[in-house]
A and B are shown apart, each in its own frame.
Chain A
Amino acid sequence: MVEIGHFALVLAFALSLVQSVVPLFGARTGNERLMAVGGPVTVTGFALTALSFMALTTAYMQSDFSVANVWENSHSLKPMLYKFTGTWGNHEGSMLLWVLILTFFGALVAAFGANLPATLRANVLAVQGWIGAAFFLFILTTSNPFARLVPAPIEGRDLNPILQDIGLAVHPPLLYLGYVGFSVCFSFAVAALIEGKIDATWARWVRPWTLAAWVFLTGGIAMGSYWAYYELGWGGFWFWDPVENASFMPWLAGTALLHSAIVMEKRSALKIWTLLLAILTFSLSLLGTFLVRSGVLTSVHAFATDPSRGVFILCILMLFIGGSLALFALRAGSLTAGGMFQPISREGALVLNNLFLTTATATVLIGTLYPLVLEALTGDKISVGAPFFNLTFGALIVPLLLLVPFGPLLAWKRGDIYAAAQRLMMAFGGALIAMLVTVLFIDGATVFAALGIGIAFWLVLGALTDLVLKSGFGKVSGRIALSRLAGLPRSVFGTALAHLGIGLTVLGIVGVVSFEAERILTMKPGETTEIAGRIVRFEGLRPFQGPNFTEDRGRFVLVDAAGKDGAALISSKRFYPARRMPTTEAGIRTMGFSQLYVSLGDELPEGAVVVHMWWKPLVTLIWLGGLVMMLGGAVSLTDRRLRVGAPSRKPTRIADKPKPAAS
């Protein structure tokens, strides 16, 4: 089975070479039969990659330690779920997952792209083939997951305990679906440049892919953030770690792309810019892959470092980014410019959005790469952390957040900023009240906290205002308004939900950053402590034997005002003998949107233990906001206009429903 997997991978590589050349040549010469080769080859390539992936998964599930990769990263006592997810909990396996998803997207384009012009489809598949070929070659030459060990060891070395978590089942696949999903946008952009032809329909074909990739990437980042939050035991949700930035940059650029593609589709403007963004977004995804996989950064993601891998990915990076940008420079001038618009208009607002988002991306990029460049040039080692990013990124993102509610209320071509401001009076008033309440009634509220809460409410209420106005609540009877609301295009709901999601995330961040309470203390069994008005009693440590670990479980009980025991939580320290590695399993109790977070430190004499305890108000909103954003993207994706493979005819407009500034 293992050799079949290896063989399938080699075949998939060979097919990707065919896919890279034949359809492209067909499109050049106008040979339809050659162009038609692209589809079946792409689908077969996906099937072979899937077979290869299944072979590796099977080796993991069966604990076949004759495979070096399985021996290094698995253990026979590991629970079945982690045997399965451990397939991609290592460098080789995760690269295989990467190409699996890449070929999956290629196959989707082949399957659902029947309505694309034949040459565009052929070119898109060919560009996908180039990316695939580069990464297949990378895996086969530097990161072969199927290498055998003779003789086969009896027991494996186990997976890094930090990765033995349900998070590994969700975070990497989602993140890769996002990263690699943007490859489709990239391929469409490069194909358009090869053809030298681009129009509004191009944007209509690209938008669903952008949206889908964005939804997955949002989920991947949110999940990664929550995983780090509960697994590492530090209680932080975002560290501005270079590896986090590596996923955040494509997200920012992808968000910009999502918005500029709207302008391109609706108004046929910003074509060249949208193309450039599509190229940059995937380039940042590649950069992320390089940063994480090459071992230039030290993190939990850098499974193993091997200089040849770094150089190889760097070559891929330069080839694709340099090549596509060179092509862009050559061809962009020949593309026709699009429609005109006034600065104050929906287009203008979206341009401003793009300016902010791309500049913010650039600051994150500089902050992430500067230490690497500086070390390479001067040997000085510096660390650029949260203080840098909070200042630069914060300065750029706050004005953008303030402007978000205006965008959907402005009309295309020429908008009326005063009318939009008037319509937002309610939202503004609500935000103001929220700020006043924060300052007056919450102890220890700073100006920063009040402003943050104000911004969060402004975003949430602004998003709701858009829906209320577009359905005419207050102007017509409630029943008609409701039916109008139901009849609004899905994309309007999508926008409102996504913007509302940002508001929730901001609220969560401000809540935690401003009102968090923290205690570090030693506790003996039976002792109580107070945190944010809650009494917590430590019951003591108890040993527990897990399948492939031992742990000391500390039990904590919340005591109410009457002295009665309430909810309990378990926080533990684990020890994984296979890797001789301890981990901290934080105890978390969710109450409303807030959480009590308890992390154990060293054991001291007399059963006492060092305890790190946090009260994290509204913290879950950070990730719930992400989920709402994903939901918004998904709802938008079901808009019939954008449905993948939907015919490109004009959408049927419902003429008798006045929609102020509607799309």
Chain B
Amino acid sequence: MTRKQKRLSVIAVGAAFLIGATALTFYALGQKASYFFMPADLQAATLQPGQRIRLGGLVENGSIVRGQGTQVSFAVTDQENTVKVTYTGILPDLFREGQGVITEGSFGSDGVFVADSVLAKHDENYMPKEVADSLKAKGVWEDGSGKAN
């Protein structure tokens, strides 16, 4: 093979790689990425049954109920709409009523959100960014108000 043919074949293999990887990437983005919703967004949203989403908001005051063993239920609210969430496992250290939270999972047939992971903020200075942005946009929460606990 000449240098030119060789270079062409390298470029061809590289291009095939890139195309394959790009196709795979966009397929995966379509299938595997999960969207973030606030409770109020859900009324307008159309979700496939069982579709994984991230649900964020504030943990409603007085909503935490411990069930049998390690099952916990609580409500996530953005003051406009409230969604009931159930979760089995250990809640994060910084999970508290009135504080920001992000849960990931899907809706069960009874309309209750079944979370398989619950994320709370990392320290007392800030909320999960998505939650803070959305709540600020709604005027429900301001920087610094999360410190009073």
Q: Indicate if A580 sits at the interface (CB-CB under 8 A).
A: yes
B125-138 CB mask vs A (1 if < 8 Å, else 0) is 11011100000000
For residue A343, which residues in chain B have a CB less than 8 angstroms away from its CB? 9
CA gap between A33 and B70 in the complex, in Å: 74
- Of the residues B6, B70, B122, B125, contact of A340 by C-beta under 8 Å: B6
Which of A360-368, A413-421, A540-548 contacts its partner? Answer: A360-368
Is the beta-carbon distance between B33 and A384 smaller than 8 angstroms? yes
Q: Indicate if A370 sits at the interface (CB-CB under 8 A).
A: yes
- Of the residues A298, A300, A392, A520, contact of B128 by C-beta under 8 Å: A298
For residue B31, which residues in chain A have a CB less than 8 angstroms away from its CB? 387, 391
Is the beta-carbon distance between A387 and B32 smaller than 8 angstroms? yes
Is the beta-carbon distance between A370 and B93 smaller than 8 angstroms? no
A580-628 at interface with B (beta carbon < 8 Å): 580-584, 599-602, 604, 610, 612
Is the beta-carbon distance between B21 and A362 smaller than 8 angstroms? yes
- Chain B interface size, under 10 / 10 to 19 / 20 to 34 / 35 or more: 35 or more
CA gap between A368 and B126 in the complex, in Å: 22
B8-46 CB mask vs A (1 if < 8 Å, else 0) is 011001100110010011001101111110000000000
For residue B91, which residues in chain A have a CB less than 8 angstroms away from its CB? 601-602
Give the distance to chain A from B30, nearest Cβ to Cβ, in Å. Answer: 10
Is the beta-carbon distance between B90 and A355 smaller than 8 angstroms? no
Inter-chain CB contacts under 8 Å: number: 117
Q: Which residue of A lies closest to B69 (CB)?
A: A522
For residue B142, which residues in chain A have a CB less than 8 angstroms away from its CB? none
Is the beta-carbon distance between A392 and B28 smaller than 8 angstroms? yes
Is the beta-carbon distance between A395 and B70 smaller than 8 angstroms? no
A293-339 at interface with B (beta carbon < 8 Å): 297-300, 304-305, 337
Is the beta-carbon distance between A384 and B29 smaller than 8 angstroms? yes
Q: Which residue of B lies closest to A354 (CB)?
A: B14
| Residues of chain A at interface, number, CB under 8 A | 51
CA gap between A524 and B70 in the complex, in Å: 13
With contacts A340-B6, A522-B69, A581-B93 known, is A382 near B122, CB below 8 A?
Answer: no
- Of the residues B33, B121, B125, contact of A383 by C-beta under 8 Å: B33
CA gap between A363 and B33 in the complex, in Å: 14
Is the beta-carbon distance between B21 and A359 smaller than 8 angstroms? yes
Q: Indicate if A657 sits at the interface (CB-CB under 8 A).
A: no
**Most chain A C-beta atoms within 10 Å of own C-beta, residue among B6, B25, B122:** B25
What 15 additional pairs, Cβ within 8 angstroms, besides A298-B130, A362-B18? A160-B123, A340-B3, A355-B13, A359-B17, A359-B21, A363-B25, A382-B34, A382-B36, A383-B33, A383-B36, A384-B32, A385-B34, A392-B25, A573-B93, A583-B93
Name 21 interchain pairs, CB-CB below 8 A, sorted by A.
Answer: A162-B123, A233-B90, A298-B130, A340-B3, A355-B13, A359-B17, A359-B18, A370-B29, A380-B36, A382-B33, A384-B33, A391-B31, A520-B69, A520-B70, A520-B89, A522-B69, A573-B93, A582-B94, A583-B93, A601-B91, A602-B91
